[in-house]
Structure 1
């Protein structure tokens, strides 16, 4: 009984807190609120940053229900525009069709700390998205505004080095999402002269990296990740460097999920390095293929892949059969480093053929590899597949040890992007020869 009373009191307290929060939101939007908007917005920012999880649902439900456009007003304005499609009726329709919560978010964003509070709000929304589909419109409004506010034209690219603030370096270690940083010695090696690390920052969040990319300056295109992240390796003279290899890119802010930042960062880094180190002529990646092993395990109809060239289906079916003879019907032996190492020449060729087909023909579809889609949509070329490129546990699990190089030809980026949008993966002869 006592527990029930406590729970009821807690619910009542949460409901009162949400009502007060919503009342302040309405005050911020009111004419009277304009005079005190700074103080009201600052108070809202503080409370949104500390909004308890048990109060989120009520707040989000109200944003979806009470801060949406008036259907009758939208209908009336739409009919007026249809009857007389001039500038005035168009602006009237736009005004009533825009959810009032967008203006609420804009006013919150003007307050100190407002941008961070809204990012926190979208993080919470994304966590509830699947369970509460009615929040889709609220999330779409925040995504729309954040995409504008975090336009790369507003972002600052900064080089991160060993002399950067310790707090920033700690965030790099924490947010590295591709190749885990093994302590300070590892990070220091990644920041030596033959390495580069660049990050995007927003003026409203000057100490918070939004996304960063790690680059290795090398004599030739790399085929394996282990030498690049070996913290005991010695730095090489950058005068010997002919290749800039992007080997890791990490997003730091979950609230910006879906907001395109990485493609602009890679292009800006390439432009910067082209100016700093004119001897570098090749810009490429050494990338994982996180979706390949899972796709192969689903036993796709290899001879039915979209866009498959004549005769390639038989080649792929034979490759699958050869791998099954070596690794078993479920290819279970390829889920261990020992099994991958035991592949003979024919087995390795079969694995490369199947991966080439995955990247060439599946990437343009909704089932495509996310990393491949990112780079190809960004205008890169599928350049080379590398057996045993990543023999870590994660590399074996994701792609049976394979890694891939994507080539960024700065003079052909736009052309390659357009072809990918039309469903074509621009690729090298070396990749074509694998099938």
Structure 2
């Protein structure tokens, strides 16, 4: 897409260059560990224990509660990693729900004689299950930045080892799920005119396709592109999750084309298709808090209100676990025997083994040095099998697929060399997929998935899957028909 130029290009360039240097420095700082403190004296820990116990006790007024939790937050923010870990461990170990009280409440509920008694017993049981730890955490809401602090604290748990504090992690998740309910979230469009501090965060938080420069960012915010994010009233300057959208005339099959700054800018009024090509969770501390499904549905509604000519809504999605899954299969003798003879010969000719041989062949394909239709057909079939048949319980093993299927999307097409970046080739052998959001089918497909784990596959993916299944039955795959475009929204 073409990039507009400012009348004062030199001033804008200098300003952007300065911001970019700060951003790169910020990225380096993000990777560095939090400096360790010299160690908190024993008397300070005794004081922290007293404050924690007071905060966990009976409520004695908002002013006292705010003072106590403010003291705890100030201590935590000034602490190094070792002392933060110790603080979190004390919250984990010392403030569980009293087992005897919970047991009595369960017995009272089970022995309730009538409906009214059962209602009272149910309330007492719910109260007994609320740990003193949860009472402490809830009081952070009294501070202007307390909610943000808890999000950061949960991110620290993951960084420092969440498995050591499972009860604390569970209480934080329970609380943040309530506080970040979709009804409390505000949808905002992020554009080139947004504050520079917000644009810096967009670059930093992008998790799917790295934003490599300010020019790259401006390209993604041009007139035929959209970026929408959810914000929370207690974290107004922090995007929680954001999606990047391309307004185009047909379903895209290559992400490099969408990101190409030299491509002409399309009049958005002429677009018929919206492609969701990147969805990034910006806050590690909100992992597991469901927001993505609401974001996509809200963005679809917003786009339709602006551009009623839009008919197709689809993603251009990565397959982050495919190469890892395939690498494990290539270590199995029985799997190697099922690889088609022509593909096996291609791989053996590289002089390499396993994924190294596949990556070598893909590098030749990207360079245009070879046309390898047998490799293409085999990898597309294996990808279809991975997405449709490899499960964790009744849900797809692939996390991106699990997300979109649960939202009511269908799997529309597997795209050969859809992402030829180093990351795309490494993670998914260069393949990308289109998940189709057909508005008239979303609710039914969502219900089918929720009840039975049913996945909806379009005809082209079904053909790829059939080829993979034939190999597993020891039969030669049937001839591949010309791939059909996935059905759009009518």
TM-score scaled by length of structure 1: 0.89
Matched, 1:67 2:95: yes
Q: C-alpha offsets along residues 353-379 of structure 1, whole Å, 9 cap, x if unaligned?
A: 111111111156567111111111111
TM superposition shift of 1:52: 2.4
Matched, 1:357 2:382: no
What's the Cα RMSD here?
2.4
Matched, 1:230 2:230: no
Q: C-alpha offsets along residues 113-168 of structure 1, whole Å, 9 cap, x if unaligned?
A: 10011112111222233552xx1011001001101111111000100001100000
**Secondary structure at the residue paired with 1:186?**
helix
Equivalent in 54, 58, 70 of residue 42 of structure 1? 70
Q: Name the residue aligned to 2:424.
A: 395
Q: C-alpha offsets along residues 181-219 of structure 1, whole Å, 9 cap, x if unaligned?
A: 111111111111100000110000000001110000001
Distance 1:383 1:364, change over 3 A: farther
Conserved in 2, the CA contact under 8 Å of 1:323 and 1:351?
no
Summarize the alignment of residues 146-225 of structure 1 with structure 2, pairs less than 5 Å apart. 146-225=176-255
Q: C-alpha offsets along residues 326-380 of structure 1, whole Å, 9 cap, x if unaligned?
A: 2235242321442444352222111111111111111565671111111111111
The range that moved more, 142-151 or 408-417, is 408-417
Matched, 1:24 2:51: yes
Matched, 1:285 2:315: yes
**Secondary structure at the residue paired with 1:228?**
helix
Distance in 2, matches of 1:321 and 1:76, equals 68
Distance in 2, matches of 1:286 and 1:368, equals 19
Q: Name the residue aligned to 1:87.
A: 119
Equivalent in 305, 309, 328 of residue 298 of structure 1? 328
Conserved in 2, the CA contact under 8 Å of 1:382 and 1:431?
yes
Q: Name the residue aligned to 2:86.
A: 58
Q: Name the residue aligned to 2:275.
A: 245
Summarize the alignment of residues 109-124 of structure 1 with structure 2, pairs less than 5 Å apart. 109-124=141-156
TM superposition shift of 1:318: 4.8
Distance 1:268 1:301, change over 3 A: farther
Q: Name the residue aligned to 1:332.
A: 356
**Secondary structure at the residue paired with 2:257?**
coil
Distance 1:301 1:413, change over 3 A: farther
Q: C-alpha offsets along residues 210-258 of structure 1, whole Å, 9 cap, x if unaligned?
A: 1110000001000101111112333111132110000001111110011
Q: Name the residue aligned to 1:136.
A: 166
Distance in 2, matches of 1:43 and 1:155, equals 29
TM superposition shift of 1:10: 5.1
Distance 1:16 1:119, change over 3 A: farther
TM superposition shift of 1:300: 7.2
**Secondary structure at the residue paired with 1:401?**
coil
Distance in 2, matches of 1:58 and 1:21, equals 11
TM superposition shift of 1:87: 1.4
**Secondary structure at the residue paired with 1:385?**
strand
Conserved in 2, the CA contact under 8 Å of 1:147 and 1:259?
yes
**Secondary structure at the residue paired with 2:259?**
coil
TM superposition shift of 1:94: 1.7
Distance in 1, matches of 2:306 and 2:374, equals 44
**Secondary structure at the residue paired with 1:167?**
helix
Matched, 1:78 2:106: yes
Conserved in 1, the CA contact under 8 Å of 2:396 and 2:402?
no
Matched, 1:380 2:380: no
Distance 1:239 1:364, change over 3 A: farther
Distance in 2, matches of 1:142 and 1:426, equals 35
Q: Name the residue aligned to 1:323.
A: 343
**Secondary structure at the residue paired with 1:279?**
coil
The range that moved more, 260-269 or 359-368, is 359-368
TM superposition shift of 1:96: 1.6
Conserved in 2, the CA contact under 8 Å of 1:289 and 1:369?
yes
Distance in 2, matches of 1:176 and 1:320, equals 39
Distance in 1, matches of 2:121 and 2:283, equals 39
Count of residues paired in the alignment = 414
Equivalent in 76, 93, 98 of residue 130 of structure 2? 98
Equivalent in 132, 139, 153 of residue 107 of structure 1? 139
